[in-house]
Amino acid sequence: MESGKENLELNRNLYPIIDFYSSGFLKVSDLHSIYWEQSGNPIGHPVVFLHGGPGGGTSPNNRRFFDPDFYRIILFDQRGAGKSTPHACLEENTTWDLIDDIEKLREHLKIPEWQVFGGSWGSTLALAYSQSHPDKVTGLVLRGIFLLRKKEIDWFYEGGASAIYPDAWEPFRDLIPENERGCFVDAYSKRLNSDDLETQYAAARAWTKWEMMTAHLLPNEENIKKGDDDKFSLAFARIENHYFLNKGFFPSDSYLLDNVDKIRHINTTIVQGRYDVCCPMMSAWDIHKVWPEADFKVVSDAGHSANEPGIAEELVIANEKLKNLIKNGP
């Protein structure tokens, strides 16, 4: 199951940087407007990119996983994230709101059905969306599986991962007084929603840096610097914390695993870094066991980030395989 070197005829490199050909804002509620953009082939096969976080927003590099001659590539910033407005807003911001937004965007762009691509929180949202609208999904590519279960939140935010990254954990821990360390998600929620903006920013920086310092197998300074950007950090930390505090707004801890039957027929590839600390492999393994029909690729020398070489390669290959299925049939 560790990723091999098969299918040598498939492209395995990121595609060149391209610009978008159209963009706009879609008003999805009285309060929220989401930013969207399209790149690649305007009459190509549509694929929607679901970013991580929640709260992470999109970046131009996200377009590079897809063949721009074949795919019509749709990126959008989820509620409160990136260029979407209002920034870092938690009102009317739940998983089910985001699923409705994806459908509103699909209808707005007059797309009958599309491929769905998501990593980390994007994998959570991709699973939830496809389980809600299986008839609208032509294929799935999932990376760094996150099922938003209590044991996953506890591992990363309540001290489990500190065994591997004690140097990164201590600044995250030390922002919180000892008498509030029984639940870091609660303690950070209090500060991220403080009336004092500087208190919010300090908590947001600490929360974001913890994640950015652990997202790569080998430290990535450019990624870590995102924790110094107060605007990015505030949306990233506030929205993540809000979703984690509310258990993803799912009716049960095992909701996504329990509903795999609804999407079992969809051609799917799961790409997982063996040493992913943010979204440890236990979740990808759990979904693999209940969904053996999906291709399961473990990258033996990678952590969490989609930008790590082995993960990026497998993601491109997964899109190439789906492209060939669409072009040539099964």
- Residues acting as catalytic residues: 120, 276, 304
Dihedral pair phi/psi, residue 179, rounded to 5°: -75, -5
Using only the alpha carbons of the chain, give its radius of gyration. 19
Cβ(311)–Cβ(52) under 8 Å? no
DSSP-assigned beta bridge partners for residue 220? none
Count CA atoms within 13 Å of residue 248 on its CB side.
23
Count CA atoms within 13 Å of residue 28 on its CB side.
32
Helix axes 150-157 and 281-290, enclosed angle (nearest 10) = 160
Strand ranges inside the chain, DSSP E: 20-27, 33-40, 45-50, 71-76, 114-119, 137-143, 268-273, 295-299
Take residue 124 and report the two structure tokens written for it: 């959570």
Q: How far apart are CA 195 and CA 100, in angstroms?
A: 30
Cβ(157)–Cβ(296) under 8 Å? no
Dihedral pair phi/psi, residue 258, rounded to 5°: -70, -20
Cβ neighbourhood burial of 177 (10 Å; 0-12, 13-18, 19+): exposed
Cβ(279)–Cβ(145) under 8 Å? yes
Q: Which amino acid is at 327?
A: K
Q: How far apart are CA 205 and CA 97, in angstroms?
A: 26
